[in-house]
Amino acid sequence: MKLRKRLVHLLKKSTILSNSLKSLLIKLFSMVLTLFVSVILARKLTVEGYGYYTYAFSLISILIIPISLGLPNMIVKYVSEYSIKKEYSLMKGLIRTAFKFIVISSLVVFALAYFSINIFEGRVMGFDLDTFSSALLLLPILSINTVVSAIIRGQGKVLLGQLSHSLLYPLFFCVVLLIYGQFLDYVISPSTAMLIHIVSIGIAVVINLLFLDNVVPQVIKKSISKYQYKEWARTALPFFITSGMLVISSKVDTIMLGIMMNQENVAIYSIASKGASVLGFAIQSVNSVVAPTYSKLYTQNNIREIQKNYSFSSMIIFFITLPLAIFIMIFSKEIIGFIYGQKYISSALILSIMCIGQAINAFSGTNGTLLNMTGHERISAYGVLISTIANIVMNLIMIPIMGMKGAAIASVISFIIWNLILSITIYKRLNVVPLPFIIRRRE
């Protein structure tokens, strides 16, 4: 009876557990919807067509890097900090600066990319010109949405900040695809799928902007903007390197397969990657919850609470991810065949390899978020940079020899390198034990 009361008390008092479970629920719905979208596209498109769609979106993910320039993570950090210190003038200046930069940089990158692709005729470097031209419209829309969500999360509305991209966008995408492809029975081409993608995320952005208007306090709207450009730029740079390298590391295998192999390989590899991404929903959900908490606790110099929060949140991630990884590895062929069809069955082995990498990442916990939220962005950036370079080099060596299996193995090795660097840094710099089972920090 006493044990039950203690557990009930713990559940009521643990904000991280409560918010993490809510965040996990949102991510779970998002994962299901995203997988459903990928199933519709994979079954409606040819294997090659799905490869063109996936390849175009991977290229867009790379092009967004110089647009966002590390702003989302930096915004979460400073909006949370300014909110605690009631520095509303600086918060307003930061928000205005972020929006101006995003709009200008997205237009510049859009123009450069559009001009570049139109000097070619037909297909270049494995992409379909019509599909990629349509995909370029995602650049400003996605960039604005990430900034809006970051501001909302920085205000402490973590779940609301996830709602647009994690739930509304895949829901709209799914509904429009079903109406267009299933009920109206229109033919879906890679370029049509991309246009539906654009409309869906556009609707989600409009709703997210309405959320932002309700979240931002009135006192901010009345404040006079103050700016700290040098400090913001200094903080954003390592975030830019970290987030940029993470995107490159996650997409470089797909892009290099498209260049060195063919679009069918890209499609098959993408299906495996989608399956493995299921294992990442736990760490993504918990990261969104603990990021403002880490920033707040570090501002208060409360290392002991950071250790407790780190171990507890990492334990949640590990015990959700590991059983799921084992299940997917055992039944990979059955899962792929049932969901995507027999034409993608060759992705089963790739999926099993990727599950190993996700399990390693889950065991390491929220190490990247902790470093980013405690003023150690540069070290985090160096770790990601080293692992990304290793990933690229290994892909160059292993794809010609082993094809898709080589790309998957290279990805797992880069996961190991990255997590080792970050975990060692946390232990040395923050006096925090980066393991999910240590509740007390080392003395």
- CA atoms of 414 and 275, how far apart (whole Å): 19
Supply the pLDDT for residue 353. 93
- Which own/partner pairs from 293-301 qualify as long-range (CB within 8 Å, at least 24 positions apart)? 293/15, 293/16, 294/366, 294/369, 294/370, 294/373, 294/374, 295/76, 295/77, 295/80, 295/81, 295/373, 295/374, 296/80, 296/84, 298/373, 298/374, 298/375, 299/81, 299/84
Q: What tens digit of pLDDT does each residue of 335-348 get? A: 998 888 888 898 99
Q: Is the pLDDT of residue 124 over 60?
A: no
In the chain, the percentage of residues whose pLDDT exceeds 90 is 12
Distances in Å between the Cα of 335 and the Cα atoms of 280, 351, 352 are: 18, 10, 11
Q: Is the pLDDT of residue 352 over 90?
A: yes
pTM over the 0.85 mark:
no
- The answer to whether the beta carbons of residues 259 and 89 sit under 8 Å apart is no
User: Which has more confidence, 231 or 394?
Assistant: 394
- Give the closest residue to 298 by CA, choosing from 94, 91, 80: 80
Q: Is the pLDDT of residue 128 over 90?
A: no
Supply the pLDDT for residue 15. 59
Residue 238 inside a domain? The answer is: yes
Supply the pLDDT for residue 405. 92
Quick one: average pLDDT of 275-300? 80
Binned at pLDDT 50, 70 and 90, residue 71 comes out as confident
- The answer to whether the beta carbons of residues 327 and 294 sit under 8 Å apart is no
Q: Is the pLDDT of residue 92 over 90?
A: no
Q: Burial of 316 by CB count in 10 Å (0-12 exposed, 13-18 middle, 19+ buried)?
A: buried
Residue 440 inside a domain? The answer is: no
- CA atoms of 291 and 279, how far apart (whole Å): 20
Residue 1 inside a domain? The answer is: no
Supply the pLDDT for residue 259. 83
Q: What is the DSSP letter of 228?
A: -
- Give the closest residue to 85 by CA, choosing from 97, 72, 94, 98: 94
Supply the pLDDT for residue 93. 87
Q: What tens digit of pLDDT does each residue of 319-333 get? A: 888 899 999 999 999
Binned at pLDDT 50, 70 and 90, residue 95 comes out as confident
Residue 441 inside a domain? The answer is: no
Residue 365 has phi, psi (to 5 degrees) of: 75, -145
Q: What domain range includes position 58?
A: 10-429
How high does pLDDT run on average in the chain? 82
- CA atoms of 218 and 181, how far apart (whole Å): 44
Quick one: average pLDDT of 419-437? 84
- The answer to whether the beta carbons of residues 58 and 251 sit under 8 Å apart is yes
- Of 52-56, 67-71, 313-317, the poorest mean pLDDT is in 67-71
Residue 434 inside a domain? The answer is: no
- Of 175-189, 317-331, 361-375, the poorest mean pLDDT is in 175-189
Q: Is the pLDDT of residue 18 over 70?
A: no
* Three-class HEC string of 63-97: HCHHHHCCHHHHHHHHHHHHHHHCCHHHHHHHHHH
In the chain, the percentage of residues whose pLDDT exceeds 70 is 90
Q: What tens digit of pLDDT does each residue of 235-249 get? A: 787 777 777 777 887
User: Which has more confidence, 285 or 334?
Assistant: 334
The token pair at 69 is 């320039």
Between the ranges 14-23, 184-193, 346-355, where is the mean pLDDT highest? 346-355
Q: How many domains does the chain have?
A: 1
State the CB neighbour count (10 A cutoff) for residue 186: 12
- The answer to whether the beta carbons of residues 70 and 241 sit under 8 Å apart is yes
Quick one: average pLDDT of 170-192? 82
- The answer to whether the beta carbons of residues 310 and 432 sit under 8 Å apart is yes
Supply the pLDDT for residue 329. 92
Residue 437 inside a domain? The answer is: no
Q: What tens digit of pLDDT does each residue of 199-234 get? A: 998 999 999 888 888 887 777 777 888 888 888 888
Q: Is the pLDDT of residue 350 over 90?
A: yes
- CA atoms of 31 and 181, how far apart (whole Å): 21
- Of 109-118, 194-203, 326-335, 396-405, the poorest mean pLDDT is in 109-118
Quick one: average pLDDT of 173-180? 85
> Chain centroid to CA 363: how far?
18
- Of 15-24, 71-80, 207-216, the poorest mean pLDDT is in 15-24
Alpha-carbon Rg for the chain in angstroms: 22
Supply the pLDDT for residue 17. 57
